[in-house]
A and B are shown apart, each in its own frame.
Chain A
Amino acid sequence: MKISTPNCDNCVFTEELGRDFNIRQKSQGLAASIRNFIHPSYKLVEAVKSLSMKIGSGEIVGFLGPNGAGKTTTLKMLSGLLFPSRGKVEVLGYSPFSREREFLSQISLVMGQKQNLWWDLPPVETFEIHRSIYKLDEKDFKERINELIDMLEISDCLETQTRKLSLGQRMRCELAVSLLHRPKVLFLDEPTIGLDILMQKKIRKFLLEYHARFKPTILLTSHYMDDVAALAKRVIVINNGLKIYDGLLSDLSEKMQPEKIITVILNSDTFPKIEIPNVTPVSQEGNLFRLKAPREIVGKLAASLYNTGLTIDLTIEDTPLEDIIGNLFTENSDFLKFRKNL
């Protein structure tokens, strides 16, 4: 039964969503084991404390956070695998944990490369089973599978037993089988984990193409910031089961790191005197100098350096995304100040 959604434009909606786990505790040693046998002790872990978010139809959202932040637990609640301990959750207007056929037919969860593929059979057999489960007609099935085989370049591994495929091949086949029923909502948990750079790029390219064609809503977790930067404009950052940022990735980058890094190679070991305020030296290695300057004066600084006639080469970079996100989770981070201004 479809439930009434407070905001029908929201494909994914959560309100104060939380999930606790009761984890059994045991100290080291035989005595502790005996004590634990008589009086088992448990610790309540709030994997997700309170998470409210709204994701519109067709959006790609990066879901970021350190290990143990509650990302995967959230994805599992959104896909109906986990029963929430509290709060409200709706996906496509359904309550995920009810696991209604109509709901499950419209979503997909990719979690590693053993989620959907049958390990002892070649991928082509899994596709056929998937067709029967999702009740796809023969014509649609052939059209879709051929399209996915082309886009993911997997024609050479379809008839090899899945367990004998390489990680990259398995991941691409996993994506193919997950997308065969054209889900309206796609939950991707670390889709490029363990893959080499070339394969990561292929997967990103595929996901962008696929999204451009079919416009599914995608919620993506990844530890590779390149994945997030390439795919998602909007990010939701969580830590310790709480949301700490929800907005555009570019805003996060600008607000968290209002400065840029300028690397300049001069034909001299001595840096010329420049009358521009707020420029901070970072390092010097011979005639290679690194400086930090506010975004708004970077252009002026570059021009001044060229005008000295000493500049051989000059590059301007943003702070790597990894560092920006990493800074969010460190104690006394700039983010704490930034949050106050939100």
Chain B
Amino acid sequence: MFYLKAHAAIFKAYLKIMLTYRGMMLLHMFRVVLMPLVIATAWLSIEKVDSNPYKNSDYLLYYLLVPLVMNLTNSRSVFKFPVSVRDGTLSRELIKPYPPLMSIVIESFSNNLQMLLYLVPFTLICTFLFQSHLDFSFLSFKFFPIFILAVFFGALLRMFISGSIALTGFWLEDVTTLNLLLNGSIWALLGGMIIPVATFPEKIRHIAELLPYRYMLSFPIEIFSGKLTNAAIYKGFSVMLFWTIVFYFTARFIWKRGIKIYSAYGG
């Protein structure tokens, strides 16, 4: 690939930087696992109604996977890009013969990969500790490659959604509120962070299945847990692909408009 060596060099550079700040990584890990742990505890402590398709063992498996999938589909561009517009560091990227946003994407990717250093052992230890409460009878290794593919597209989708929000930083001083609104609260609710999407009332579940949020968290876990039929997987991938394309073009559109009004302050 045209930029492969440059991508690799930048990826290695970010790994080196992040390894310099090990304490920060550990704090991030706590941030990622804390919320799912609290929510899992809440769900496990309440009594389930008969119509709820999830048993305690399903909730436990679901919330064991939430930190992992959440981390793998995470995108930090929404925090990084607006800062680079405000302080002018975007200029550094624009002056090089290299895709200007790629550095932010690679930084996010390397960050997610490094978090696995903490998250994988954490998940394995928890699985070992709670193995007697877990039900693995649904698990099938034939779903594993599909799970990986779903995580990949989920990450891509989140990158374009976060990217579209981040790029509004050309106009907005602070995109945090917009991000919290579109990519935080709604994502946590309809993406399956607070409540697994499969346990929503039917009408809300149908809406959630048509919106992009489910595909960045709940959908890959549902595949991994063997909770979805082949038809549901095909439908899920179709919706996910649709939103990925929509947000790819949205991000491109915003970029093309925004770069023309970029003021390159901070030189």
Contact = CB atoms under 8 A, between A and B. Distances in A.
Contact of B263 (A82, A101, A109): A82
Interface in A135-171: 135
A42 interface: no
Given A81-B264, A82-B264, A120-B17, A132 B95 contact: no
A99 B95 CA distance: 8
Interface string B52-88: 0000000000000000000000000000000000000
A22 to B, nearest CB: 8
Nearest to A115: B92
B13 A135 contact: no
Contacts of A21: 263
A132 B6 contact: yes
A109 to B, nearest CB: 5
A128 interface: yes
Contacts of B16: 121, 125
Contact of A104 (B89, B91, B95): B95
B81 to A, nearest CB: 16
B263 A132 contact: no
Contact of B264 (A76, A101, A121, A135): A76
B80 to A, nearest CB: 14
A72 interface: yes
Contacts of A107: 95
A80 B5 contact: no
A132 B97 contact: no
Contact of B5 (A79, A108, A132): A132
A133 B98 contact: yes
B93 to A, nearest CB: 10
| Chain A interface size, under 10 / 10 to 19 / 20 to 34 / 35 or more | 20 to 34
B13 A121 contact: yes
Nearest to A23: B263
Contact of A79 (B8, B13, B95, B263): B95
Given A76-B267, A133-B6, A135-B5, A109 B95 contact: yes
Contacts of B263: 21, 82
B262 A82 contact: yes
B50 to A, nearest CB: 53
Residue among B5, B97, B261 facing the most chain A CB atoms (10 A cut-off): B97
A111 B87 CA distance: 13
A129 B97 contact: no
B20 interface: yes
A133 B95 contact: no
B142 interface: no
A134 interface: yes
B134 interface: no
Given A76-B264, A132-B6, A99 B94 contact: yes
Contact of B267 (A121, A132, A189): A189
B9 interface: yes
A116 interface: yes
A233 to B, nearest CB: 26
Given A21-B263, A129-B13, A133-B9, A80 B95 contact: yes
Contacts of B20: 120
A125 B13 CA distance: 8
A223 to B, nearest CB: 14
B9 A105 contact: no
A129 B10 contact: yes
Interface of B: 5-6, 8-10, 13, 16-17, 20, 89, 91-92, 94-98, 259-264, 267
Interface of A: 21, 72, 76, 79-83, 99, 101-102, 104-105, 107-109, 111-112, 114-116, 118, 120-121, 125, 128-129, 131-135, 189
